Structure 1
């Protein structure tokens, strides 16, 4: 049996053919071991983009990422809510607030994220501004989930080998398969997730990847390009919380929510967005805060539904029910968590616990 080579992999892509799982794994592993040249990495990701990435190719690359990652050994079913980024909308940190809302409702959260790349403030930037210690020892993250109900996986700390792709990503300056690998590569591999995908082309690919892995996920995107469920435009949902892929179109009116504008959801720097987080999880709902509150509750509700499926609890109905019906049943829980102050209290606990673990206590 001959060994895989760059000539074989790139030749396959140049011919417009799909890579096998093993070829995709090999190429990604070469990159993460530091043996691939920048030119080979660039040719790989652009060849995939021009051809169109398949679920098999993405799955192979995810396996290589996880094989090279510093893993988190979760001892319970947990959920992640994360997006690919790259939507260019500069909104407030919706997924971060949704994660706090979900955790405030008593659902374990292991959030994966990074600093800002294309936005003004990424999850890590905002959590840091709030006082959360984002550079906790990796071995303490499972304990943080147990003690605080939530923990944050800072991507660079868990995927150090991704540094070999850094220069290429920056120089290319266009979305590539790298944008979707992160959300799929949470080092704790939580069984449930809400994954936002700004690239319409790749959203069903992510859904197929998660379906084949047996994870309970919803892939979401709004028609105005947000990598979230939105109230500013109709949203699409690729639901794999059951044993099949089902697609839905969701408008805010279907759930009795007031339509918003992108401008109402606009954010700023880390300090500004951190203050918005405090206001929203503190129950504020006047002016633009009402619009932000709605979109946070919407994404939190969808995240709760994925966890419900992973636990087989049917709290929001059986997985045979439509995703929209189950989200509608979860919405009051999300709003109740915001209004009760539970999410705000949870953040205070998280700050304390994370700082304690960061100090090695």
Structure 2
């Protein structure tokens, strides 16, 4: 592209037109190389936000993020469970507990996440409070998945160039395309994922991006705004595990789950949420813990379904089967991981392995 490329990119957005894949890639790459000014970057993300981001624009930006990322070389099919955040609900760390439940059931997990941005406790904060070494060397993450069944990619360690977006994100203070780029940019690129998206406009965009990439993914957003499968309201689902985009709506009652309230799922700071994790993995199911246990199992089940599609195992049915039916079949496996103590044992092993690897690296 020419020296006037920023003028072209921003002019295209001002006119209300879409960027091409190449234009989006170029603009994001300029930011990640540190050559874009804050004004140019702000113009880019606000222009995209006002117009509405397209799958090709998001795909181009994801490609640039991954091109500048510190890659994780996985030696096996794995799954991620991650959300965009920004739902403002301040729940407990549902996806973190779902990841532990999935790994406890024997499904390899490569979790991507960060510290809290809009919430009180992000995945990294809670894992750290649980004793997991979150800053393990990249070269050991694949081995950690092999030995412990799970590993964590700490986003700032793998996407250092995102520091160039820090000032703009902080000063703008509104959701932008950056909120969805993270969940799509796991540096290990696991073939399957459960992706939660708080923004209803962007959920189908994420689905199309994953479909175009050939990733077996399920994208979810509850009708009360959570970036999770919810038991407090029906959940909208965009399923691309079959190689085509299929939409459905899941009501908790369809699976025999007791309706919850958002208040029952409310969390606190990292120490509070870490204690909730311990209680759930220890089998606690009284009071609000019953509601938390159900929503964790539900999200874990959907994550297992995505992984099953990537493996081609058909353990929960063919990919052409209704999404809700496959989640229903996976739900007992998720509950078993919690009830048998498998998820708890998994966490204990992960803490030990991650600390040993981190110590060896030092």
Shared fold (TM-score, shorter chain, > 0.5) = yes
Q: Please, what TM-score do these two structures have when normalized by structure 1?
A: 0.99
Q: Which runs of 5+ in 2 are unaligned?
A: none
Aligned to 1:185: 185
Aligned to 1:62: 62
Aligned length: 361
Aligned to 1:280: 280
RMSD of the alignment, in Å? 0.8
Aligned to 1:269: 269
Q: Give the conservation status (yes or no) of the 8 Å contact 1:4–1:23.
A: no
1:114-173 CA-to-partner distances (Å, cap 9, x unmatched) read 000000000000000000000101111001000100000000000000000001001110
Aligned to 1:117: 117
Supply the distance in 2 between the matched residues of 1:4 and 1:137 (Cα, whole angstroms). Answer: 40
Specify the SS of the correspondent of 2:129: helix
Aligned to 2:26: 26
Supply the distance in 1 between the matched residues of 2:15 and 2:268 (Cα, whole angstroms). Answer: 44
Give the 4+ runs in structure 1 shifted more than 2 A: 1-4
Specify the SS of the correspondent of 2:310: helix
Supply the distance in 2 between the matched residues of 1:162 and 1:139 (Cα, whole angstroms). Answer: 21
1:236-255 CA-to-partner distances (Å, cap 9, x unmatched) read 00000011000011110011
Specify the SS of the correspondent of 2:136: coil
1:35-54 mapped onto 2 (5 Å cutoff): 35-54=35-54
Alpha-carbon distance, 1:281 to partner: 1.3
1:150-204 CA-to-partner distances (Å, cap 9, x unmatched) read 0000000000000000010011101000000000000000000000000000000
Aligned to 2:311: 311
Alpha-carbon distance, 1:360 to partner: 1.8
Supply the distance in 2 between the matched residues of 1:89 and 1:332 (Cα, whole angstroms). Answer: 27
1:39-61 CA-to-partner distances (Å, cap 9, x unmatched) read 00000000000000000000000
1:26-81 CA-to-partner distances (Å, cap 9, x unmatched) read 00000000000000000000000000000000000000000000000000000000
1:317-349 CA-to-partner distances (Å, cap 9, x unmatched) read 000100000000000000000000000000000
Supply the distance in 1 between the matched residues of 2:86 and 2:75 (Cα, whole angstroms). Answer: 32
Structure 1 169/341 Cα, relative in aligned 2: closer, same or farther at 3 Å? Answer: same
Aligned to 1:94: 94
Supply the distance in 2 between the matched residues of 1:268 and 1:40 (Cα, whole angstroms). Answer: 37
1:92-126 CA-to-partner distances (Å, cap 9, x unmatched) read 00000000000000000000000000000000000
Aligned to 2:127: 127
Supply the distance in 1 between the matched residues of 2:4 and 2:274 (Cα, whole angstroms). Answer: 47
Aligned to 2:140: 140
Aligned to 2:248: 248
Aligned to 1:236: 236
1:214 and 2:230 correspond:
no
Structure 1 92/266 Cα, relative in aligned 2: closer, same or farther at 3 Å? Answer: same
Supply the distance in 2 between the matched residues of 1:132 and 1:26 (Cα, whole angstroms). Answer: 37
Q: Which runs of 5+ in 1 are unaligned?
A: none
Alpha-carbon distance, 1:4 to partner: 6.5
Specify the SS of the correspondent of 2:112: strand
Specify the SS of the correspondent of 1:236: strand
